[in-house]
Homo-oligomer: A and B are copies of this chain.
Amino acid sequence: MEDWRVGLVTFFSVLAGLLAIGVANEVYLRLSAAKIKVNGKHCYVTGGSQGLGKCVALDLARRGANVTIVARREEVLKEAVREIKACAIDPKQQQIEYVVADITNSSAAVEAIETAVTKQKQPIEYLFNVAGISNPGVFLEQSPELIRKTMDLNYFGTVYTTHEVAKRMVTENIKGGHIIMVSSVLGFFGLVGYGAYCPTKFAVRGLAEALRVELQAHGINVHCYFPGTIFTPGYDLENLTKPEVTKEIEGADEGMTPEKCSAGLFKGLERGEFGITTDPIGMLLRCGTRGVMPNNNFMLDTIISGLAWIIFAPWRVMVDRTVIKYASKQHSK
């Protein structure tokens, strides 16, 4: 054979092999994945009064679910319930409720679940842990109180609620329950300006990974969503405290509306994915820092992982240089 033919045959053999593995994996995933089916089920959404949480609740109502939203401010919750009710496909059957609670307190989190179950007269089968805050800022200027507060809402709110709901799923023998956690692309890597925030989203990812392994023994499915920037009321607040250097690194903001994020989250859930991302950078980060996490698509994830390996090294160097550039600007002031 001639040289170019050898190369071509090798190239296409490898490609065909990867394709075969990829297709087999896809078929397996599609067949084995636990499909979500929220119609008529009790879905519990923390942080459901605004932003992504409210959009998730709206989408659940559109799919025929009974929805309970949980947050701290009653008037905002009441308004959200009105909106969610308006989206119900079967307003007579679907029950939409709210519970006022500060879930960073473990007994309040447990009590809120008890109240929700009593109101709906139905155990929780879908838990969406959406409540969370982002407080970007210069780490050394942030107070220990703020650092603790961020962990309280982003991690402890999720872990307390998950702990209680999962216990109830086991005792009430609910098979096929789903627990969804919301991390962030900043749960994949650390960045300047997010010293208080990144650890909380890493913690949520660690919790999701550990519980995915552990709770499958009880037929409970765990998912973790890693959104990028979401244009919500919280996002406007974020920008007030975000350091300039962080803004420069993040560049022109390619964020998404909470509506689009929610739609993407449901797509991922319908495909039975564990780690769900809804934008190209999220996908790159997920594949680059997948580790022991399940693949979403063997072939695609493998290719993207290789890309991530190549792309992240120079990107990190660029980030490091920007940080040092800003520091010397500060000094020369």
Contacts and interface: CB of A to CB of B under 8 A. Distances in A.
Contacts of A156: 147-148, 151
Contacts of A145: 106
A44 interface: no
B216 A323 contact: yes
A8 B76 CA distance: 69
Contact of A202 (B205, B217, B288): B205
A218 B206 CA distance: 30
B198 A209 contact: yes
Contact of A187 (B206, B292, B294): B206
A316 interface: yes
Interface string A294-333: 1100100010010011001101100110011011001000
Interface in A32-65: none
Contact of A216 (B170, B285, B324): B324
Given A206-B199, A323-B214, A163 B139 contact: yes
A313 B295 contact: yes
Nearest to A298: B313
Contacts of A160: 144
A147 B203 CA distance: 12
Contacts of A315: 292
Interface in A190-233: 190-195, 197-218
A272 B192 CA distance: 20
Contact of A139 (B148, B205, B211, B312): B211
Contacts of A126: none
A323 B215 CA distance: 9
B327 A218 contact: yes
Tell me which of A148, A170, A199, A201 has the highest count of chain B C-beta atoms within 10 A of its own C-beta. Answer: A199
29 contacts: A3-B6, A106-B144, A106-B145, A139-B214, A139-B215, A140-B170, A144-B159, A144-B160, A144-B163, A151-B151, A155-B199, A189-B209, A189-B293, A190-B207, A190-B209, A190-B211, A190-B212, A191-B213, A195-B210, A195-B211, A195-B214, A198-B210, A200-B203, A200-B206, A202-B202, A217-B323, A217-B330, A218-B327, A289-B292
Given A140-B166, A190-B212, A291-B312, 4 more contacts: A6-B7, A106-B148, A199-B207, A217-B323
